[in-house]
Amino acid sequence: MSLTKSTGWLAIQSGGTTDLPIDAAHLVSARLRWRGKDRRIWDSRSNTVSGHSASFPSVPSGWTRGGGSARFNITVMTGEWAAAGTITVSAPGGSSTKSWTCGAQSSKALSVSTNCYGYGTASGSTSIDYGPTTGFANPSIRATVDYYQDIPSESLSAVVNGVSVTGPASLANGVVSDWYPITLQLGQNVITHSIGGGGLADIEIEYTYQPYPPPPTRHAPENTVVTDDETPTFEVTLPLSDASGLHARLSLSMMPTMSQPTMYDSSASQTGWEYLSGGNWLPLPAGGAPPQSRVRFTPTIPLAPGTWYWIVAAKDWAWGAWSDTPWMLRRVLSVSALEGYALAVGATPWACTDLIITESSNGEISTIEFTVPNHPDAEGKTAHDLIGYGDPVYVSIYDSTGEERQYLGRVWEKQVDDLNLQVTATMGDKILADRLVSSDYLETDIGTALKSIIETDCAPLLADGIPAPFGLTANLESKNRQAMQAFQEAFSTFGLLFWSETHALDWVQYLADPTTLTTQGILVEFPMEGEV
């Protein structure tokens, strides 16, 4: 919705400029007005008289008395005795007295001044406290009147970004003019001022604008959802705006920092974009959807398996800010009804001749092992060329209880023969064997200690499956040892089980008392027969 902003009253002078930066999506209107400000100029007249008194001069016509001053000068002369006394000047509204001393056989110029009203008569005098042979000479007095004149603001005008705006012919001090319409622009504006008369005034600039739209409200996919849909639909509600049509922009990335994103901009292409109207989903028009409409986007290119992050922004006259924090979804494989499994390395699906998944606990490394043909493709690249060390491996398969399970590993070993490539991918517990612990945990709850080890030294493993506190106190001298050894000590000392499982964000490390666990079906081996 439109907002109005004012600069407030700004002091200006003729020939000066005002810089006005405007950061907004759209400018609706703008205007300015002036307030008169007198410039006060001062002058003075003096009357200097030889003697002890002088009258103040009169004030010129059209000027106003603003005070004055008086100064009395005299020379003291001494004989064989030193002397001391006072010198005084007085006038209506002020007087001043100064003490003086003068050595024997010498002279000294004395002077005293005072501020006063600037009218009437100024007079000077002296007194002697001691010094019988003292005398005075050359007395003079100066009476000065100060006066001023207030010059109003006249012929007010401004040049706004090169366009002249003519204001009132004159403005008395403190009087405010009418508003004058002006044209501002987004970004930097320069206003140059021209003022006759005293050359001073105040100015106020007011403009109505549309702020950048806030991010749309996200609805689907919900944050942290796990889906096997290759092309999930992203659904949002556009924000409120005075614009007739709004657009949305979706940013998708496999990095939580949203680096290297894939962008989908409905203002550039409406393909895949729809909006809800009267209960029906309709293709999004080129002009956008009405404010607060529900819109959705379905990508035409399948998302690769793995964790995706997404944010959105809205556009009315300009693009607004992105969502504050990314929402996450994990795209998993869907089990093929024909094959009974699904396997992908990175974004590429693979058909394998053997597939063995080993889930282990308490020190054994969980693995995904599979075999694929190694013959060259149309570009001459073999599976060994296409599958790299550290690549993510995704598997979806049914366990012995009929539940669909998801596994995530990373390529650790490749063995090739003439026809096939055998790949071993390790799962989350391999991290425990590779990482060294940075601290000891003495007289610490075992759950708290192991949770800290995961969070501090074992990213991207998550510690969500470790109760803290666990209720058992341990002394883990774990610094510079493998994280796996700390967990094995929990097993040998307390009989606790530990294992990792695939999670939406990577892997979760678990710690549990075996007496509290329920029986689960775990698939150990799934051999695949036949050629691909």
Phi, psi of 513 (to 5 degrees): -80, 120
Q: At what angle do helices 446-457 and 483-494 cross, to 10 degrees?
A: 170
Q: Per-residue pLDDT tens for 513-524?
A: 877 765 444 443
Cα–Cα distance for residue pair 373/353, rounded to 1 Å: 8
Answer for the pair 512, 464: CB distance below 8 angstroms, yes or no: no
pLDDT of residue 401: 60
CA nearest to 430, candidates 385, 472, 396, 393: 393
Q: Per-residue pLDDT tens for 333-373?
A: 766 545 667 888 988 888 888 888 887 666 667 889 999 99
Say what the pTM is.
0.59
pLDDT of residue 491: 84
Answer for the pair 49, 140: CB distance below 8 angstroms, yes or no: yes
The fold for domain 43-145 equals Jelly Rolls (2.60.120)
Instruction: Give first-to-last CA distance, the chain, whole Å.
Output: 60
Cα–Cα distance for residue pair 95/115, rounded to 1 Å: 7
Q: What is the CATH number of domain 3-38+152-210?
A: 2.60.120.260
pLDDT of residue 518: 59
Alpha-carbon distance values, 500 to 118, 242, 429, 434, 453 (Å): 96, 52, 6, 15, 14
Cα–Cα distance for residue pair 242/29, rounded to 1 Å: 14
Q: Where in the chain is the domain with CATH 2.60.40.650?
A: 217-331
Q: Where in the chain is the domain with CATH 3.55.50?
A: 430-516
Q: Domain 341-429 belongs to what architecture?
A: Beta Barrel (2.40)
Contacts 24+ apart (CB under 8 A), 156-159: 156/34, 156/194, 156/195, 156/196, 156/201, 157/193, 157/194, 157/195, 158/32, 158/182, 158/191, 158/192, 158/193, 158/194, 158/203, 159/191, 159/192, 159/194
Residues of the chain below pLDDT 50: 337, 519-532
pLDDT of residue 149: 96
Q: Where in the chain is the domain with CATH 2.40.10.220?
A: 341-429
Q: What is the CATH number of domain 217-331?
A: 2.60.40.650
Q: Which residues contact 235 (CB under 8 A, 6 or more apart)?
A: 218, 219, 220, 294, 295, 296
Alpha-carbon distance values, 106 to 7, 88, 98, 132 (Å): 67, 21, 19, 14
Asked: is 430-516 a CATH 3.30.420 domain? The reply is no
Cα–Cα distance for residue pair 292/357, rounded to 1 Å: 48
Q: Which DSSP category does 14 fall into?
A: T
Cα–Cα distance for residue pair 238/220, rounded to 1 Å: 14
pLDDT of residue 422: 92
